[in-house]
Amino acid sequence: MESARQLFKGKVVVITGASSGIGAGLARHAAGLGMRVVLADVDAERTESLRAEITEQGAEAEAVVTDVSDPAAVEALAERACRRFGGVDMLVNNAGIMAFGYSWEIPAERWDAMLRVNIGGYVNGLRAFVPRMLDAGTPAWVVNVSSVGGLLPSPLMAPYSVTKFGVLALTESLHYEMQMKKAQIRVSVVTPGHVKSDIFRAARPGADTPPEVQGFQQWLQNDADEHGLTPDEHAERVFAQIAEGRYWVVPQPEALDPALQPRTDMILGRVTPVVQFGD
């Protein structure tokens, strides 16, 4: 905690999807470390409420209503952050949405929305902020939030698996590119397990959805509610690992490691995958 505070105090961080869940936890913890925080989210009321909470505790914060799927909106976010604080030291791409259902039954517009937010939003963040970081020539960080689901695909939530796998590829490519540029920009990918939030509840399937889909969504939500980290606990682990210089930020190794070796063995052995949910 103290090493993270020493490293990040006074730095400027932009967090997308900041108004709730993982994003809000990261924002509160960043403020507690003495960082100056820019909160970006589509929910104006919740974002402003979090800004007020953070500033009441003595931290500097700016709330910017932002649709990350819109490149112009993310560029405006970068301009506003730089105008307010003079530059940005850390970008946390976190905004994301969820959908449940059989992959061929999820509506085209929902697939499109998830690709535009969960992948396009991250790309828009890189395009807006990385050039500014490179021009500044000072130490900086890009943190992309993926998921345990970015390494372990799941049935009945294919758009989420697809986009979180994509975040892994995007982040690793960016990491290599920063090495090629010899830039002072550290890149990290975060792989959360279950965190207490409303992401599953907000994507609740409709009443006409097959019962196995509804049951799967409810199981995920119950597991997150009962066994998930709080957003603040998750944030503390994330910032501690970023401060250590880790590329792989794994706040809940117990949720990832037991399944990762069998999955690797399955791939190397060319074994046909077998569903792990239901009969």
Question: Is 158 within the bounds of a domain?
Answer: yes
pLDDT of residue 201: 77
Question: Is 146 within the bounds of a domain?
Answer: yes
As a three-state string, the secondary structure of 226-245 is HHCECHHHHHHHHHHHHHCC
**Positions marked active-site:** 160
Question: Is 215 within the bounds of a domain?
Answer: yes
Question: Is 278 within the bounds of a domain?
Answer: no
What one-letter code names the amino acid at 213? V
Q: Give the residue numbers spanning the domain of 32.
A: 2-253+260-267
Question: Is 240 within the bounds of a domain?
Answer: yes
Question: Is 210 within the bounds of a domain?
Answer: yes
pLDDT of residue 199: 80
Q: Among 53-67, 177-191, 193-207, 217-231, which is the least confidently predicted range?
A: 193-207
Question: Is 166 within the bounds of a domain?
Answer: yes
CA–CA dist 279, 247 (Å, integer) = 37
pLDDT in tens, 217-264: 888 888 888 889 999 999 999 999 999 999 999 999 999 999 999 999
CA-nearest of 65, 2, 4, 10 to 36 is: 10
Angle formed at CA 257 by CA 253 and CA 260, multiple of 5 degrees:
140
Number of domains forming the structure of the chain: 1
Question: Is 85 within the bounds of a domain?
Answer: yes
Q: CATH number of the domain that 160 lies in?
A: 3.40.50.720
278 falls in which pLDDT band (50, 70, 90)? Answer: very low
pLDDT in tens, 95-146: 999 999 999 999 999 999 999 999 999 999 999 999 999 999 999 999 999 9
pLDDT in tens, 4-54: 999 999 999 999 999 999 999 999 999 999 999 999 999 999 999 999 999
